[in-house]
Amino acid sequence: MKWCLFSFSLLLSVSCNLGSQGSSDVDFHEIRSNFGSDFPVEPPFDYQSKAPSYVQLDNRIGAGIDDKKATLGRVLFYDKNLSFNNSIACASCHQQNAAFGDTSSRSIGLDGGLTGRQSMRLANLRFSSEGKMFWDERAISLNDQVTQPIQDHIEMGFSGLQGQPGMNSLLTKLDSIPYYNELFSWAFGNKSASEAFIAEALTDFVSSIESFDSKYDQGVQTSGTINGPFSNFTVEENHGLELFLTPAQLNSSGIRTGGGIGCAGCHSPPEFSIGAGIHNNGVDHVAGDPSGFDTTNTKSPSLRDVLNSSGTPNTPMMHTGDFLEFTTIIEHYNEVIPDVNNTTMDPRLAKGPSVVKMELTTSEREDLESFVMTLTGSALYSDVRWSSPF
């Protein structure tokens, strides 16, 4: 950039503005007066993944995270200015203390309206073979997804419909906020917000949110296998892991006679995310409407951090948000009874036309739950890189 100094003044302003590493042009005055002098601009926080080497799945397919863009993404994620009446931020429905999901069943959007489905926990979202987003995988990528809530009529309301302003009003609004002029200049070399910049910044921030400091990770690191048994686990936790990993042996009537329960067939370790090609799991009703029918939900957030450190669920579970206790999850999979019209349930959960009966004993249920508890980390809930800058 030094050569700018020797250019004509007109060229100077043009060439310096085009420079993508425009940080030397930004004095961070507005950032510091809004977020405090320790806001991480020089140097920015390190948002690079620290995932251990046994974690292989990555839907970013090698695309790196830019620390400055992720820093801007953090501000956008927590900023209620992204909703048209300044009442809702991404973080309203994706809360750090709930593994970036929502503690209420279905989320409250603008003017008290409810979302159509339960909010999804965003922790470890990157570590999946599946790059499509939402329970029904209707968004083709994270980059495509992140601006959809902003334009959703109920969620943040820059929909351009029914009297709501459109995306251009949001861009004008952000351009009028001095700290965004500095943040966009710093991260993109251009002080004007655009939909593409917002998407890139939110994508980098959201995909940096990860959790790999669980008891399970300690077990894998010590033993060198992802399948256990682990010396740091109790007998019950190791048994729960075995049940999780091992497919069930069924007799001709679909009754389990041996083996495990085979959760890993869909929620595969060590990421515990769901890949493509999996069908619905028999939770086939519309959230909030048991008489409505919905078999399109084929994705789940990672089962890492589904429970919190006290062993209770971080969020209501499944797309309907009506599974409040982990025991009700186990009860569901013990004997999945689909709606008669549900023709697309995953074949692993039924045997031909018959219902599969796992006939889990009380101790098997307890052991499975104690294993799932080993998937909970701790830094996720407190790391300042993912916390509110406001």
Give residues in contact with ligand HEC (CB under 6 A): 82, 88, 90, 92-94, 107, 109, 115-117, 119-122, 125, 133-135, 142, 145-146, 149-150, 155-156, 202, 206, 261-263, 265-267, 274, 278, 280-281, 283, 297-301, 303, 306, 317-319, 329, 333, 346, 348-349
Least distance from ligand HEC to the Cβ atom of residue 226, Å: 17
179 touches 29 (CB < 8 A): no
Distance of CA 112 to the CA centre of its chain: 23
Least distance from ligand HEC to the Cβ atom of residue 35, Å: 19
Pick the closest to residue 118 from 310, 276, 286, 325 (CA basis).
286
239 touches 370 (CB < 8 A): no
Task: Select 68 or 319, whichever has its Cβ closest to ligand HEC.
Answer: 319
Q: Which two tokens stand for residue 310?
A: 């006290």
Q: Which amino acid is at 290?
A: P
Task: Select 22 or 367, whichever has its Cβ closest to ligand HEC.
Answer: 367
Least distance from ligand HEC to the Cβ atom of residue 104, Å: 10
d(CA 205, CA 143): 11
Least distance from ligand HEC to the Cβ atom of residue 151, Å: 9
Taking CA atoms, 50 is separated from 185, 208, 243, 267, 277, in Å, by 28, 9, 29, 22, 28
Residue 204 sits at φ, ψ, to 5 deg, of -65, -40
Task: Select 26 or 154, whichever has its Cβ closest to ligand HEC.
Answer: 154
d(CA 387, CA 51): 19
Task: Select 22 or 68, whichever has its Cβ closest to ligand HEC.
Answer: 68
Least distance from ligand HEC to the Cβ atom of residue 387, Å: 16
Task: Select 173 or 348, whichever has its Cβ closest to ligand HEC.
Answer: 348
Q: Which amino acid is at 163?
A: G
Least distance from ligand HEC to the Cβ atom of residue 45, Å: 18
d(CA 369, CA 261): 13
Task: Select 41 or 283, whichever has its Cβ closest to ligand HEC.
Answer: 283
